[in-house]
Amino acid sequence: MENRPLTAIRGVAAVAVVIFHLSVNVPGHWPACTAYGQFGVDVFFILSGYILTLVYADLTPAGLLRFWSNRVGRIFPLHIAVLTTLVAGVLAMLHTGWTTRDPAFFDPATLPYHYSLTFVWFGFPLGWNSPTWSLCVELAAYILFPVWLFTVRRLPRAAVATLGLACVVGAASHLVLDGPASIGATAMTRGLLEFATGTLLRLATIHPIRLRFVETVGDVTLNYPPIVWLGRISYSIYLLHAPLLIVWLKIAPGLGPLLTAAAFLLVLLPLSQLTFLLIERPGQELVRTVFMPRRTTTSPRTRSTAIPPAGEAPANCVTSDGELVSRRRSAPRGDVAQ
């Protein structure tokens, strides 16, 4: 079941990142607070760790294929569609005589690393759809997540809280000392520490009273339909805004900060809704069909009593990060009770 406040947070963070990128690319006197929008990515990392631990708290080795197929379906279809469209658009613009300030930004030799979301792993600079650097870190986190979860969920809650505090201190220190890095090992460290913080935060707050308090505060402050809607399309917002900005800077007149932000969002949000409906969701279903074909049943009785495999969730539940999965209803297990 969707956690609407968490979904809303994703929407706010995505729009904050968009406004930050507008402020550093569009001339004008932008409010100083827009600089903090770059930390929306850090919110994404923490939320991702928290939500995956929420959804997959009972993950077992038997459920790993479904877990990884869900994650591939979540990030790759839209990423591949947007990057392919961007490549075609850049080639078309170059053919018409368009020039770029930094030709290396659109280096064709780096495309295999961009398509596979590994360019940060190998220390390549930002290029093409630059915000996808965070997806490189997310992909690494998805690969490591099962082993990390299997380890930390066995720890006493006091140890989880201590480890979580260490991750918070480490992540904060990293941001202070190295800044909001987006390339190479420093970017990987930034994202993985924050992802780990999210997982530990979830495990440390599963006590029913504490969790109920957190959820109540979220319901009161963030459970508004327009913000929740932004959260549902936040992945499309995030992936589309940089390519759209490339075009925007070439054709849009100078409108000043306020009008630029309003006009840009007026174009970006409907476009994000379209890609959400036409690419994100169908892409997730396609990947699921390829990797996890539906089991056949021989009778209504068999169908109604079928039990999902361990670590697997029944279909048609939308999580707070937009993934089409749902949690298996099961008895609480120690420190991972929900």
Q: What is the pLDDT of residues 65-114, one digit of tens each?
A: 888 889 999 999 999 999 999 999 888 877 777 767 677 788 888 999 99
> What is the rounded distance in angstroms from the CA atom of residue 159 to the CA atom of residue 206?
14
What amino acid is encoded at 249 in this protein? L
> What is the rounded distance in angstroms from the CA atom of residue 204 to the CA atom of residue 162?
10
Return the domain boundaries, the chain. 4-292+305-328
* HEC per residue, 194-238: HHHHHHHHHHHCCCHHHHHHHHHHHHHHHCCHHHHHHHHCHHHHH
Give helix 208-222 / helix 4-25 axis angle, nearest 10°: 50
Predicted pLDDT of residue 106: 85
Is the pLDDT assigned to residue 191 strictly greater than 70?
yes
Predicted pLDDT of residue 115: 95
Is the pLDDT assigned to residue 332 strictly greater than 80?
no
Is the pLDDT assigned to residue 181 strictly greater than 70?
yes
User: Which of 126-140, 201-215, 227-241, 300-314 is the least confident region?
Assistant: 300-314
Question: In the structure, what pLDDT confidence band is assigned to residue 49 with cuts at 50, 70 and 90?
Answer: very high
Q: What residues have CB less than 8 Å from 31, skipping those under 6 apart?
A: 257
Beta bridge pairs of residue 324: 318
CA dihedral 296, 299, 303, 306 (to 10 degrees): -90
Please state, for a pLDDT cut of 90, what percent of the chain lies above it: 28
Is the pLDDT assigned to residue 208 strictly greater than 60?
no
